[in-house]
Structure 1
Amino acid sequence: MANTTPAHEDGHQPLTKTVSAASNASHKRAKSFRQETAKEFQAREKHPLAGHFGHLTSDQESAALEFRKELHEKGLYTPASEKGQASHDDTTLLRFLRARKFDVPSAVTQFSDTEKWRQETKIEQLYDTIDINEYEQARSVYPQWTGRRDRRGIPVYLFKVGHLNDKTMNAYAKSTAHKGSTTQVGGSSKTPDRMLRLFALYESMTHFILPLCSVLPREHPETPVDSTNNIVDISGVGLKTFWNLKNHMQDASTLATAHYPETLDRIFIIGAPSFFPTVWGWVKRWFDPVTVSKIFILSANDVLPTLEKYIEKKNIPKKYGGDLDYDFGMLPNLDEDAKQLLSDMQHTTESGWTIGPIRWVGGDGPGARVVAVGSENGRKRSTVLAIPDHLPVNHVINGETGAVPLNFSDTPGTLGADLTAVKKAKAASGKSLETNGERSNGALPETTVNGQMEALAIS
């Protein structure tokens, strides 16, 4: 005989109640997510530099000390000493702490995972040897620096999603399938080659664009620039394109959040199609509330007023109501401060920019150098492009005799950078360099120490 006992009397909830319960749970999670997002947005708008170098609370300073200590004990960090600079600058360490709300054990775990990933991918070596054509191919399908900064001095990137159609992405995928320089360097890595090329661009951000922006005139020069603003144009993008890009974007977001935390300040989404609210419902699930709180979805009428709140009109591309002659695909259009600082840049294109990866070496003192790296025609580059003059050294501590400070690093804007620069300045005269006792016209040693190309060897 068939069992006629109602399902809920047999210890199970009826389907209608199960669906209702699941719906309520989903609603509560969504509400909690929105509340956390709003909370993060309000806190950041009120105190944008909270948790950054030079703006730490006493508790955060204590957490930073504990973080360094634990990393040192685990062999993940080497503090600065008379023998050399710290293995990692303060700005990097603070990014990991902020990402974990200054929870030291959690930050240690994330930092450890990142160090393991960097070793497996050989990301430093990849950046110094990647073929410049492969690098430029990657740059063509990811956000690009406009050459301008926002009102706080943070670099402004532009990304047009519309050109990432099937033809473009298939061609890019095909190019990454060949055994290029990234495959040769990171061949044993579990990270796909297309992702390694993306992270070469992240290395460009951390090794050149952020250090450059850190030494340019701006409010709060004591705090290094460590994040970017992004204008993301999705006008003309169909639902099929969004769906096809889903895995690609999700992988990139996951790895970037894990290994380059807190490098995003804001994202301004422009040109959202009518179906975007539906798409956004599942896109935002890729991110945590902190990241979602940094995303602005702008209507056509809100684009210029909102952008101008954060970016001067002269630094907003003309397409979005500003005065800047820049469109996606162009090389950076540097502002006057950057042009003046890099006025002696050599080996450039007509726009005054060098294609391929670049490193900023030497902090914000007289030893600063702009160096072209990567490979060209199978030969590794290590050429000094520019020797910036008149850098804003704000806090040299008694020349060389000052005590080694807690914040001793080579990052522009930190005390360690100035002390390092004072030492390096001894050997810097004119525009030729002295390396290991020999004069050089620009070629650098082909070695990297602590992730930075050493331009000068000075005792």
Structure 2
Amino acid sequence: MRLEASLQRGAGLLLCLAPPFFFSNTSEAPVLLLLSLAESSFRASCLLFSSVRSSVPTSLSLSLTLSHSLSLSLCRRLTARGKRATSLPAPPSSPTNEHHCRGPDTRPPRPPGPARSSDSEAELRLHPAAADMSGRVGDLSPKQAEALEQFRERIQDILPLLPAQHDHFLLRWLRARNFHIPKSEAMLRKHLEFRKRIKVDEILTDWRPPEVIEKYLSGGMCGYDREGSPIWYDIIGPVDPKGLFLSASKQDFIKSKIQDCEALQKECNLQSQRLDRNVEAITMIYDVEGLGLKHLWKPAIETYGEILQMFEENYPEGLKRLFVIKAPKLFPVAYNLVKHFLSENTRQKIYILGANWQEVLMKYIDAEELPVMYGGKLTDPDGDPRCRTKIHHVGPVPPSYYVRDHVKVDYEQCMTVSRGSSQQVDYEILFPGCVLRWQFSTESADIGFGVFLKAKKGEWKKASQMHEVVLSQRYNSHLVPEDGSLTCEQPGVYVLRFDNTYSIFQAKRISFSVEVLLPDRLQSPQANGGVKSHERAACDSQS
């Protein structure tokens, strides 16, 4: 039993570590994966060796001893290789790295050197780390400089149409694709199509967002970091996602973010002129105080994912670093929902700051450029410490802005609940801290809905025999689709119960979607994210 438990712990460790490395192309990934295997093997061999050493033949004991020694040796050697850590780059005013802030657990290690490729591709693909150069103007290896010239030659037909033609701009597209020239070219040509389709060149002068977006979408540009880069603030807690989506279109949201990107790019260009050196990337401060389940609403997450993808495809290398401050316990779940939209390079620029976040920010931003509410000295002309003339601080969207009753949802499943009966959908939650999220609508009448918890899977129980965690009540989901979520504080089988026991004449047709959102550290490549689900019908009118 102890051996089995040890192996299970080893498998659990691999389950937690696998995802970020399986989806990255880093050379450290197999090292850390082997480290996990070695640790599990070592623990198992210790238990097995100690339990059977006295009762097995000499030959088998010798084999176990050898296995134990090899496991220990491998574990020690891999531990030595795996101790490299990525830390926040030193601020301009400090020669040492800041160890109090760190990125998300799944942030990939530094990029590796180039993989071996065929001779036909060797001239077209080059990873900047091959020569340990940054890939920026003044810090190019001979091969990188050659790649830049080849890239410029291949895009001569579109060069006059680009927002900029200098080397700084072209190198951003090369770095975004690891100096793979055909991929960089395809990315840049696609960007030109994007600019033409959206009319990006006119978006700052000829387009204005709907009033509700201007008033109730938080954030803004305020101040500069120590290197002269503009600082953008996103304040998540007060945002009302559902109110915004009931009041404006998804296209308006995306277009407003494109407008923000263009404004920031324009400010970078102005800073380059003021400082007489290239400024091409921004610093972001992501204030997630108050992040809650309302922000995990599926339509909002999907749109935010589209916006992140738009950033990656059309504004490469535009982010210098992103500081996440005041992160609540729910943040790993939220990050897990959107991280797959981010490139490996972007993930490396995300840093989660702890309780000393003000101290860290001050190392990268002068006090005169940092608002008082974030530990600096900057205020509005009227003394407002929040700098509201530059950073929008918002609240709930008034219903008077609503232009629709609900947001259209594409559901994943349908079922019929017979008259006088109920249906149960069971989800076995394996880890505490997971979020259970649901959406449903009915075709012609209301339906009862509640969430219950039971200890064992595979057994049907009446509602009265289970612990009620979300109060059962009737919803007019035929008029307005219903959605909700629950943070699962303990493992167990959570039962979503659709109740039609009160209707003796009419069956109910339900369309629904259910998701289990895992904290980032627990994401698994398995189906359903390591969550087992199954459905049960309950025809007992007393269920």
TM-score normalised by the chain length of structure 2:
0.46
Q: Deviations along 1:150-189, whole A, 9 cap, x unmatched?
A: 111111111101121146523xx62448xxxxxxxxxxxx
Number of the residue aligned with 1:66: 150
Superposition deviation, residue 319 in structure 1 = 1.6
Deviates more, 1:281-290 or 1:153-162: 281-290
Separation in structure 1 between the aligned mates of residue 218 and residue 261 of structure 2, nearest angstrom:
10
Number of the residue aligned with 1:53: 137
Number of the residue aligned with 1:11: none
Instruction: Give RMSD over aligned pairs.
Output: 3.6
Superposition deviation, residue 119 in structure 1 = 1.4
8 A contact 2:219–2:391 mirrored in 1:
no
Amino acid at match of 2:247: K
Within 5 Å, give how 1:344-423 maps onto structure 2: none
Superposition deviation, residue 286 in structure 1 = 2.5
Number of the residue aligned with 1:225: 279
Are residues 1:144 and 2:215 paired?
A: no
Within 5 Å, give how 1:28-427 maps onto structure 2: 28-31=18-21, 33=24, 35=28, 37-40=108-111, 50-72=134-156, 75-78=157-160, 88-131=165-208, 134=210, 137-138=213-214, 141=217, 143-146=219-222, 148-166=223-241, 168-170=243-245, 174-176=247-249, 192-206=251-265, 208-217=266-275, 221-222=276-277, 224-244=278-298, 245-300=300-355, 302-325=356-379, 327=386, 329-331=388-390
Amino acid at match of 1:298: L
Q: Deviations along 1:258-294, whole A, 9 cap, x unmatched?
A: 0111101111111111222333334323212211111
8 A contact 1:138–1:198 mirrored in 2:
no
Q: 1:55 to 1:176 in 2, by over 3 A?
A: same
Tell me, which stretches of 5 or more residues in structure 1 are unaligned? 1-16, 80-84, 178-191, 334-459
Separation in structure 2 between the aligned mates of residue 49 and residue 227 of structure 1, nearest angstrom:
18
Superposition deviation, residue 135 in structure 1 = 8.6
Separation in structure 2 between the aligned mates of residue 39 and residue 321 of structure 1, nearest angstrom:
31
Q: 1:38 to 1:296 in 2, by over 3 A?
A: same
8 A contact 2:212–2:248 mirrored in 1:
no
Q: 1:141 to 1:58 in 2, by over 3 A?
A: farther
Separation in structure 2 between the aligned mates of residue 108 and residue 30 of structure 1, nearest angstrom:
28
Q: 1:66 to 1:135 in 2, by over 3 A?
A: farther
Q: 1:253 to 1:138 in 2, by over 3 A?
A: farther
4+ residue segments displaced more than 4 Å: 20-26, 32-36, 133-136
8 A contact 1:234–1:270 mirrored in 2:
yes
Q: Deviations along 1:365-392, whole A, 9 cap, x unmatched?
A: xxxxxxxxxxxxxxxxxxxxxxxxxxxx
Q: How many residues align?
A: 281
Give 3-state SS (helix, strand or coil) of 2:134's partner: coil
Q: 1:252 to 1:166 in 2, by over 3 A?
A: closer
Superposition deviation, residue 310 in structure 1 = 1.5
Separation in structure 1 between the aligned mates of residue 142 and residue 264 of structure 2, nearest angstrom:
30
Q: 1:166 to 1:284 in 2, by over 3 A?
A: closer
Task: With a CA cutoff of 8 Å and minimum separation of 6, indicate the structure with the bigger relative contact order.
Answer: 1
Separation in structure 1 between the aligned mates of residue 329 and residue 391 of structure 2, nearest angstrom:
32
Give 3-state SS (helix, strand or coil) of 1:297's partner: strand
Amino acid at match of 1:37: P
Deviates more, 1:267-276 or 1:31-40: 31-40
Q: 1:37 to 1:24 in 2, by over 3 A?
A: closer
Tell me, which stretches of 5 or more residues in structure 2 are unaligned? 1-6, 29-106, 113-126, 380-384, 393-543
Amino acid at match of 1:39: R
